[in-house]
Chain A
Amino acid sequence: MTQELVFLFIGYAVIWVLLFGYLVFITGRIRGVRDAVRDVRHELDAQRQETAE
């Protein structure tokens, strides 16, 4: 494998790692936002029940 080919391989690896990194980052953020939304929804439901009682 020539020096140039090694450089190209690293270039491609960086591209794929960046793409996968972005994908993992986005997926993690979805989980975080959904957890926050669920927590607030539970709080609201609990408070609605208290108010009803």
Chain B
Amino acid sequence: MGLLGTALRRRAVGQPPLFGWRGLIVYAALLVLMSAALYMIFIYAPAERVQGDAHRLLYGHVAVAWLAFLAFGIVAFASVMYLWRRNPRWDSLAVASAEVGVLFTTLTLISGSVWGRHVWGVWWTWDPRLTTTLVLWFIYVAYLALRMYIDNVDTRRRVAAIFGIVGVVDVPIVWYSVEWWRSLHPVQSVTRAGLTAEMVLTLVVTVVAFTVFCFVLIRQRYLLERASDEGEGLRDIVRNRNDVLRQTGAPSAPEAGE
């Protein structure tokens, strides 16, 4: 925990976000990975025997689905750490991961729906995998909405942490839904799905490209949350100071946002 805590502390508010040369390198690496993934998906990987080209949508679909699970796992871990250490940085990491997780779950639902239209002939069906994924999306949208409606900062962080830990229970339910109930959805195992070596390699490259993107998004969202927290703290200082100055009749400073 010590190493992880140190790494989190280094992401201080004063650190620059992805601008300048460092940002350029990260964005260039993302473009290269994205191009490689697109090349492999559309040119390198062979068409699937039964599904044809519609199968190519699954590389992106599987990648974003795994990363949604990972993001919600980070929410749960950061929430446990927040309840244990009461360090607001863990709460910032939790909210950053939750927002990115919701984004990736949205992409999972959209890409799955497009694939389903091609293969099943319908945009949506109340299949166990689809339904539990939709429930997962609602849980974390509710998590983000809940944070907006609790004014007290400590209460908000504590309630959100509990919600974030409870919500992750749906992840294994989504994962095992294709085994526990009768489902139209393909099985989750790469070996059981009958993929060729080229397909597996394409899937790996796509997952790596999306993973880098996911971590960049979480990092940026975390920095935004830290900056907002600092702004909130500063607003409190200005407000308190202005109250004192008003009492003494001196001119007060403008509060942030004025």
A binds B: yes
Interface residues of A (CB under 8 A from B): 2, 4-5, 8-9, 11-12, 15-16, 18-19, 22-23, 26-27, 29-31, 33-34, 36-37, 39-41, 43-44, 47, 51
A23-B217, A43-B254 known; A8-B53 Cβ under 8 A? yes
How near does chain B come to A7, taking the closest CB pair, in angstroms?
8
How near does chain A come to B124, taking the closest CB pair, in angstroms?
16
A9-B42, A12-B38, A44-B253 known; A37-B234 Cβ under 8 A? yes
How near does chain A come to B111, taking the closest CB pair, in angstroms?
7
Contact B221 A26 (CB under 8 A): yes
- For residue B228, which residues in chain A have a CB less than 8 angstroms away from its CB? 33
Contact B111 A15 (CB under 8 A): yes
Contact A4 B41 (CB under 8 A): no
Interface residues of B (CB under 8 A from A): 13, 17-19, 23, 34, 38, 41-42, 52-54, 56-57, 60, 64, 103, 107, 110-111, 114, 118, 213, 216-217, 220-221, 223-224, 227-228, 230-231, 234-235, 237-238, 241, 250, 253-257
